[in-house]
Amino acid sequence: MTKPAKAHLNYARPVQIADGIFWVGFYDVQSGLHCNPYLITDGNEAVVIDGGSRPDFPSVMMKILSTGIDPASIAALIYQHYDPDLCGSISNFEDIIDRADLRIISSKSNHMFIRHYAASSELYSLEDYPGGFRFSSGRKLRFIPTPYAHSEGSFATFDETTGVLFTSDLFGSYGLQWDLVLELEPVCKDCHDYGNCPNGKPYCPLPDLLKFHQHIIPSTKALRFALEQLAQIPFCAIAPQHGSIIRGEHIIDTVWNRLADLESVGIEAIVGNRTQFNMKRTTAQAETKNHEI
């Protein structure tokens, strides 16, 4: 796969991250939540993954146009969950693409929310693509369900041609210091002293990545189940919808192992290991409520 050279990255333009795959996101120096829509091109066909918010649409579309493709060549919009930072620009895409056979692909449980973005294109569920989405050339995008990471219908998308795995919120991060490609040294694999870098670097990106998962994923079980599903995929790069692209064996291993060991995720940060809850209402409480009515 093509590897963008960090020294030459221009975030005002699309960045090719693999053969036929472009980052078309929006870089905001004042925002800690960077969104990463992706464009996949294959001959005269294209697909957009997690297209981005409505405010970001002008920047995203300008980058898409800068790749040289005709917007009418975009055959499908893939949304890996239903949040507005992914789906808010659906109607904008539909207006520019302007084709009656444009497909919106997501899981069935996401569609009940995606409809509220005033989508006019036909909605297709993952069940409609049991073998994955295929371009005319035969290139295939495989869909891997990752339920409750972070929504019921969350899933990842694997491009079998390049080995890029698009993971939406999984492997994402939140932080004011951002680069499109995550950089870690081999020594980082065994280092847990995030505030005292052995290489003397003033910032470590791992705490922001771990904290993001603790806040956005509902539970440790949901996170570990998602990792279990993705462990079967022969990917060589991870392209999340937030944060930085993760590539390089030692970097992938470092991030993967930290997430696999992560505790206090989601609700568990509040309730800990409790398995029983007292949900019995007292008589005094009931009488007070009845009196108020």
Output the average pLDDT for the chain. Answer: 91
Q: Are 214 and 172 in contact (CB under 8 A)?
A: no
Question: Taking Cα atoms as reference points, which of 219, 203, 204 lies closest to residue 262?
Answer: 219
- Residue in the structure block whose two tokens are 């990545």: 209
* Beta-sheet strand order (sheet of 21-23): 15-18, 21-23, 38-42, 45-49, 74-78, 103-105, 122-124
Q: What is the mean pLDDT of residues 80-84?
A: 95
The pLDDT assigned to 238 comes to 98
pTM score, whole prediction: 0.92
Q: What is the mean pLDDT of residues 134-161?
A: 97
Q: What is the mean pLDDT of residues 164-189?
A: 92
The pLDDT assigned to 31 comes to 67
User: Which residues does 108 contact at the CB level (< 8 Å), separation at least 6?
Assistant: 125, 126, 127, 153
pLDDT, tens only, 217-266: 999 999 999 999 999 999 999 999 999 999 999 999 999 999 999 999 99
Strands 237-240 and 246-247: antiparallel
pLDDT of 5 strictly over 90: no
Q: What is the mean pLDDT of residues 57-80?
A: 97
The pLDDT assigned to 178 comes to 86
Domains along the sequence of the chain with CATH: 6-271 (3.60.15.10)
Q: Are 166 and 239 in contact (CB under 8 A)?
A: yes
Letter string b/e over residues 127-147, b meaning 16 or more CB atoms within 10 A of that residue's CB: eebeebbebeeebebebbebb
Neighbouring C-beta atoms of residue 185, cutoff 10 Å: 14
pLDDT confidence bin for 292, thresholds 50/70/90: low
